[in-house]
Structure 1
Amino acid sequence: MEMFSTSTHAAVGLLALACVTLIASHLFSPLRSIPGPLTARFTRLWFFYRVWQGGFEKENTALHRKHGDVVRYAPGHYSFNSPEAVSAIYGKGKELDKSSWYEAWNAPGFKTLFTEPSIKVHGQLRRKFQSTYSMSSLLTYEAYADHCTALLISKLEAIAKSHGRADMALWLLCYAADTVAMISYSRRMGFLDQGADVDDFFKDLHGNLFYNTTMGIYAWIHPMIFNTTAFLARWGLIKGSPRMSLARFTTNVISKRRVERAGGEKGQTIPKEADDETAPKDFLSKFLDSNERDPSQFTERDIIVGLIGNVIAGADTTASALSAILYQLLKNPTVLSKLRDEIDTNARAGRLSVPPTFKEVQSMPYLQAIIQEAQRLHPAAGLPLQRVVPEGGADIAGYTFPAGTVVGVNPFVLHSNSRIFGDDATSFRPERWLDPDKEKVSYMQRHNMAFGLGSRTCIGRNISMLEMSKLVPELVRNFDFELDDELKGECAGWKWINYWLMRPVSLPVKIRMRVVQ
C-alpha cells in the first residue's frame, strides 16, 4: 500500500512538473505575443479536433481575420498570411525542410517526393523523375487523355439523353483517376466504364487521407499503428490501404510489361492506330527504360513509387480542380458565355480540333485564366504547408523563430489576401489574370500556391494542366449543365471536405445536349 502511494505521488509530481514546465516555457517565450486560441498555446488538441472536423481552412481564415498576418494554431506551430512570409519560407535559396507531419504519409523510414523532408535529398530524388514530367514529354501523353475524354463524353451523352442528372464530382474523379492510370500504365482502372467507385478505391483513398492528415499531427505514433495494421492486413484480418492494393496492381502490370518487352511487344493500348516507333510511351515504359539503362540509379522501387504516386496524387487533385471550374462557370453565366465565345470562335476559325490539342488550348487566354482563377479559390491543399526553422533560427514577418519551430502558409488563406489579389480577392474573376499590367499579374502568379511553391512545386502539374485544358472545352461545347436546386442561390453552400486535400462532397447537376447554331 505504501509502495502504491509512493508511486502515485511520484506520477502526480512528474505530471505537475510537466505542466509547470509547459506553462513556464510559454510565459518566457519570445513568441508569447503571437495570438491564437488559448488551448493552442499548450496542446495540439485544438488543431487536431479542427482538422478532424474536415474544415480547417475556415478556422485558419477566421484566425487570420481576427488576429492578423501571424497566428499560432498549436504549440510551436505558426500560420502566416503575408507575401513576405511566402518568400521567407518557400523562396528560392531560402526554402526550409518539411516538418514531421509528412512522416504519416508513408511507411516508416520510407520517403517519397512528397514526404522527403530534406530540400537537398528531395532535389536528388526529383531529378530521377523530372524528364518524364517535362513539357516536352507532355505531348506524348495526349492520346491517353483523349481516349478517356471520349469515353467520358459518351457517358455524359447517354445521361443527357435519359434521366439527365449526374454527380459531376464523381464523374470528374472517375475521369481523372482513369486518365492518370492510362498515362501511367496504358490501362484504365474501370471507373469511367462503371461511373462508380470500383472496389471502394475512392472510399479507401479518402479514408487514407483522413488518417494521414490527422495522424501527422502526432506523427510519432504512426510507426506503431502502421506496422500493426500492415501485420493484420498481411494475415487477411483487415483490408489493406489503397496504396497497398495499388502496389499489388502495379507490380502485376510491371511483370506483364517486362514479359511483353522481352517478346518485342510494346505492351501499350493507346493509340491503337499508331503501331510504330512514334507511338507515345506511358510512364511505365519510360521508367522501365531508365531502369534498364542504369538499375542502380533508377531502381525497381523507383518504378513502383513513381507509378503509385501518379495515381494517388493525380486523381483527387485534378478532379477537384475540374469540379471547381465547372461549379464556378455555372455560378457565373457571364464567364461561361465568354468562354463559349472563345471556344466557338476558335472552332469556326479551325483553331480548335475535336478533341482539342494541348497546343491549341494553350493559345486560349480566357480558358487558361478560368483554370487559374478556379484553382486560386479552390486550391488543392487546405492546411499550412509545414516547414521547419533550421539551426540558427529565422526572421519571418517581424518575429525571430528558433530552430525547430514549425511555420507555414495555407494556400486557401493566402489566395484570399487582398494585398496580393486585389480588393475582390474572394470573388471569381478570371479577368484578373488578363490584366494589361504584367507586373501585377506576375506578382499574383508568384504567390499562387495551387501547385505549391519553389523546388517542391507539384511535379505532376503539367499533366494536371493537360487534362483540365483539354477536357473543359469539350464539356462546355457539348453540354448545357445546370446546378441542382440545392446549389442555386446566393446563400447556397457547396460542401467541401478538407483532409489536407480539399475535395467536393458532390456536385449534382442537370445535363442537356447543347444545340450549336
Structure 2
Amino acid sequence: MAFAFGERFGQSHSATRPAIDAVRTLGGAVGTSRLASNSVDDPVTFPKGKIDELLSATLELVETVQEVQGSPLPDLKWAYVNSKPRVRRATKLKEDCIVSELENAVGRLGGKEEEFVKSAVDHMVFREKTLASKDGRVPDFFSRVMIDEIFGFVIAGNDTSSTAISWGLKYLAENQAAQKKLRTSLETALPRAASEARVPTIQEITGTQIPYLDATVEETLRCAASVPVVDRQAVVDTELMGYHIPKGTVVTCLVTGPSMTSPAFPIDESRRSAGSKGGERQRHRPWDPRDMASFKPERWLVGKANDFDAGAGPQLAFGLGTRQCFGKRLAHLEMRIMIALIVWGFELLPCPSALSGHKPVLIMTNRPKDCYVRLREVERNIDISKTSRNAM
C-alpha cells in the first residue's frame, strides 16, 4: 500500500500492525493457543488482528476470483458474484479510495518527475500527463484504465509476493543444506550484525551483495509458479512455430513445466523465426534436465566467484520483454528482505508430513494449501574472521 499510494497511506492502512498487536495479547502464553491438543505436531492457531475496512474490501475482492474459477459460464458467474451486496460494498470502497488518491496526486502534480513521484500512483499520473502532452490531448487521470491498473497492481503485488514467500519457506524447510548455505552467506556478508548478535537493518540487506540470497529468491520464483501462466494477446496476425495466430488470439505460456521444471518439448528448429533463433533465446542456457525439477539455488550462481546471474536459464515468473511485470523490482526487494530476516533469526525445521503437502490452491495466485513453519531461534556465536566470503 505504501508503494502504491505513498508512505502516509501505508502507515494508516497496515495489516501488519494489527497482526502484531493481536499476537502480543497472548503475552507469554503462546502455548495456550494450541488448545485442542498437546502434541507438538499439531498446528498452533494464532489470533488475527482486525484490519481496516479498505484492506478488508481489497481482500474480499481478491477472494471473488476463486468463486469464478472452473465455472462453465464465467461471464454469468462473474455478474452474479458482483451483484452480491458485500461485493458491491467492497467495490465502492475500492473505487472511492483510488479516485481519492488520484485526486491527491493530480493536486500535487509538479514539474519534475524526481521531485513529484513518491508512489506508483504518482508515477502513473506523471506518465499520463507526459503522454497526453506528446499526443496533443487532455490528460485523462481518472479513466477506467487508470483505476483498473492501480487496483490490479495492488492486489497482484500483495498476492504474488506473499504466495512466493510462502513457497520459499516450504522449500527452505525441506532443503536444510540450502537453508544452512543461505544463513552462512548472510552472516558472511553482514559481519557487523552477526558479531553484534542483532538483526540486520533493511539498509544492510538491500545495500549488500549477497549472491546466494538472490539465487534463493530466483529459484523460489522458478519453482513456485505463484502465477501459473503468462498470457499475451496477438494485436496483429502473426505466426508462432509455423502456426498461424489470428489477431485477437490469447496465447498462454506455462510458468512451470516444459523448459522450466521439466525437459523441453522437442522443437523442429526450422520452424523458429529468425528472432527466435537468436537474441533472447540464445542468452539463456537450458537447465540441466537431470535436476531441473529440484529446488537448487546454486543453479543461478556462475563462475569461480559464484556470482549471481539472473539470466542463468529460462525464467517466466514476471514475463519477459517490454510487457514484463511492472512490480518485478519491488517483488524482488520484498522477498529479499523477508527471506533474509526470517532465515537470519530462525531455523526452519521440517514439519509433519500431514502439514507439508505441495498441493496448491488457485485463487488469484497458486497458493500452497499447507504452509506451516516449525521454528527454532538461531543461537548466534560465530567468529566472523574465520568465515570465508566465498562460503556457499
Decide: shared fold, TM above 0.5: yes
Do residues 251 (structure 1) and 108 (structure 2) align? no
Q: For residue 337 of structure 2, what is the aligned residue in structure 1?
A: 470
Do residues 458 (structure 1) and 312 (structure 2) align? no
2:61–2:87 contact (8 Å) kept in structure 1: no
- Classify 1:500/1:389 alpha carbon distance in 2 versus 1 (closer, same or farther; 3 Å): farther
Aligned pair count reads 326
Could you report, residue by residue, the CA deviation over 1:265-301 in whole angstroms, capped at 9, with x for unpaired residues?
xxxxxxxxxxxx9898233444455567769335223
Secondary structure of 1:413's counterpart equals: coil
Segment drifting more, 377-386 vs 336-345 = 377-386
- Classify 1:245/1:150 alpha carbon distance in 2 versus 1 (closer, same or farther; 3 Å): closer
Sequence identity of aligned pairs in percent?
Answer: 19
1:389–1:406 contact (8 Å) kept in structure 2: no
2:225–2:366 contact (8 Å) kept in structure 1: yes
Deviation at 1:366, TM superposition (A): 0.1
2:66–2:362 contact (8 Å) kept in structure 1: no
* Distance in 2 between residues matched to 1:424 and 1:160, nearest whole Å: 46
Letter aligned with residue 226 of structure 2: A
Deviation at 1:402, TM superposition (A): 5.5
Letter aligned with residue 250 of structure 1: I
- Classify 1:197/1:249 alpha carbon distance in 2 versus 1 (closer, same or farther; 3 Å): closer
Instruction: Pick the aligned partner of 2:65 from 200, 204, 208.
Output: 208
Could you report, residue by residue, the CA deviation over 1:358-404 in whole angstroms, capped at 9, with x for unpaired residues?
6425x11000000111111112222463655953x6251xx534636
Instruction: Pick the aligned partner of 2:218 from 344, 349, 372.
Output: 372
Letter aligned with residue 421 of structure 1: W
Instruction: Pick the aligned partner of 1:495 from 359, 362, 367.
Output: 359
* Distance in 1 between residues matched to 2:300 and 2:122, nearest whole Å: 38
Deviation at 1:333, TM superposition (A): 1.1
* Distance in 2 between residues matched to 1:365 and 1:152, nearest whole Å: 34
Letter aligned with residue 239 of structure 2: A
Structure with the largest fraction of helix: 1
Q: For residue 296 of structure 1, what is the aligned residue in structure 2?
A: 138
* Distance in 2 between residues matched to 1:514 and 1:479, nearest whole Å: 5
- Classify 1:360/1:193 alpha carbon distance in 2 versus 1 (closer, same or farther; 3 Å): farther
- Classify 1:281/1:460 alpha carbon distance in 2 versus 1 (closer, same or farther; 3 Å): same
* Distance in 1 between residues matched to 2:188 and 2:127, nearest whole Å: 43
* Distance in 1 between residues matched to 2:354 and 2:116, nearest whole Å: 44
The structure with the largest alpha-carbon Rg is: 1
Q: For residue 509 of structure 1, what is the aligned residue in structure 2?
A: 373
Secondary structure of 2:367's counterpart equals: strand
* Distance in 1 between residues matched to 2:344 and 2:160, nearest whole Å: 24
- Classify 1:226/1:508 alpha carbon distance in 2 versus 1 (closer, same or farther; 3 Å): closer
Matches for 1:31-180 after TM superposition, within 5 Å: 158=24, 162-163=29-30
Q: For residue 282 of structure 1, what is the aligned residue in structure 2?
A: 119
CA-atom RMSD in angstroms: 4.8
Instruction: Pick the aligned partner of 2:287 from 421, 429, 435.
Output: 421
Letter aligned with residue 326 of structure 1: L
Unpaired segments of 5 or more residues in structure 1?
1-136, 172-190, 265-276
2:169–2:373 contact (8 Å) kept in structure 1: no
1:157–1:513 contact (8 Å) kept in structure 2: no
Secondary structure of 1:408's counterpart equals: strand
- Classify 1:471/1:384 alpha carbon distance in 2 versus 1 (closer, same or farther; 3 Å): closer
Q: For residue 394 of structure 1, what is the aligned residue in structure 2?
A: 239
* Distance in 1 between residues matched to 2:54 and 2:174, nearest whole Å: 27
Q: For residue 66 of structure 1, what is the aligned residue in structure 2?
A: none
Do residues 408 (structure 1) and 252 (structure 2) align? yes
Unpaired segments of 5 or more residues in structure 2?
35-41, 265-285, 382-392
* Distance in 1 between residues matched to 2:367 and 2:30, nearest whole Å: 26
Could you report, residue by residue, the CA deviation over 1:9-44 in whole angstroms, capped at 9, with x for unpaired residues?
xxxxxxxxxxxxxxxxxxxxxxxxxxxxxxxxxxxx
TM-score (norm 1): 0.51
* Distance in 2 between residues matched to 1:156 and 1:331, nearest whole Å: 29
1:208–1:241 contact (8 Å) kept in structure 2: no
Could you report, residue by residue, the CA deviation over 1:478-502 in whole angstroms, capped at 9, with x for unpaired residues?
23343442457xxx52331135721
Deviation at 1:416, TM superposition (A): 1.0
* Distance in 1 between residues matched to 2:107 and 2:364, nearest whole Å: 39
- Classify 1:196/1:252 alpha carbon distance in 2 versus 1 (closer, same or farther; 3 Å): closer
- Classify 1:193/1:285 alpha carbon distance in 2 versus 1 (closer, same or farther; 3 Å): farther
